[in-house]
Amino acid sequence: MDDKGKNRREFINTCFRFAAGATLVGVTGVLAHKTVSGNTLWQIDTTKCTQCGRCATSCVMSPSAVKCIHVCDMCGYCDLCGGYLRPNVKNITTGAENQLCPTGAIKRKYVEDPFFEYEIIEDLCIGCGKCVKGCGAFGNGSLQLQVSHDLCVNCNQCAIARDCPSGAFSRVPADEPYKFSGFKKEKKA
């Protein structure tokens, strides 16, 4: 009886094990044609972004992995940069009270008459999007918020994506990690 009982139990055990294994194989099979070989990354669609400022506060990393990136191809090199200067400044100087950037991360450099080059100091940028808003409203929109992939830890569920009010965050394939809008970009730095 003992032996028979053991064999019966082992048989039932084996049956269930096969069933469980078959379920696993089934799930894998169903998902097989939906797999991508590489990882996906998170990126901001600049056409949807409304520069609400949550990129700076919602990221699990501090400072945020979202940075403002300057697409020089689109820049107008204006003297009165909409992304650098606040609107309605009294004296047009490079004083901190006139700059939109709260951390002073935009560097302005004279090129030639009347063009100025604007460069973003990445270490100071917190991804608040104020310059992006200004540039988009008064300029060419060459300053764009993007997830910087050397900082982003690529969470399974992006915390900023959850808080984005315009749904600008989406998963992109790893071979197209950036979604700038405007002109064609040059090669990576």
Partner 1 sequence: MSEILKYIPRTLNIKKIVTVLSMFILFMTSGFPLFAQQQRFPKPEFESGYTQPVTSMPEARSEFFAIFDVFVLIFALSLISWLILKRRSRKGVLAVSVFSILYFGFFREGCICAVGSLQNVILALFQPEYSIPLSALAFFVIPLVYTLFFGRTFCAGVCPLGAIQDVLLLRPVTMKTWLQKVLGLIPYIYLGLSVLYAATATDFIICRYDPFVGIYRFDATFFMFSIGAVFLLLSAFVARPYCRFFCPYGVLLNWMSRFSKHHLTITPNKCIQCRLCEDSCPLGAINKPVPVKVMEDRPSATKRFIRLSLIIPLLMLLGGWTLSNFHENLAKVNSKVRLANELMSFNPDVMLPSVEIEAFKSAGTPVEELYSQAAIIIEQFYVGAWILGAFLGLVFGLTLSSLSVFKYREDYTPDKGECVSCARCLKYCPVEK
Site for partner 1 in 109-128 (CB under 8 A): 111-115, 117, 119, 122
26 scored as a contact of partner 1 (CB under 8 A) = no
DSSP 111-145: EETTEEEEEE-TTT-----HHHHHHHHHS---EEE
Q: Is 60 in the site for partner 1 (CB under 8 A)?
A: yes
Single out the residue of 82, 100, 105, 126 in contact with partner 1 (rule: CB under 8 A).
82
Residues 124-183 that bind partner 1 (CB under 8 A): 132, 136-142, 144, 148-157, 159, 162, 165-167, 171, 174, 177-178, 180-182
Q: By C-beta, is 103 or 163 nearer to partner 1?
A: 163
103/154 with CB nearer partner 1: 154
Strand partners, 43: 170
> What minimum distance in Å lies between the beta carbon of 139 and partner 1?
6
**Residue 14, both tokens:** 């084996």
Kindly state the DSSP code that residue 82 receives in the 8-state scheme.
T
Q: How far apart are CA 44 and CA 151, in angstroms?
A: 15
Number of residues in contact with partner 1 under rule CB under 8 A? 87
Distances (CA, A) of 71 to 40, 77, 97, 173, 180: 23, 11, 25, 21, 8
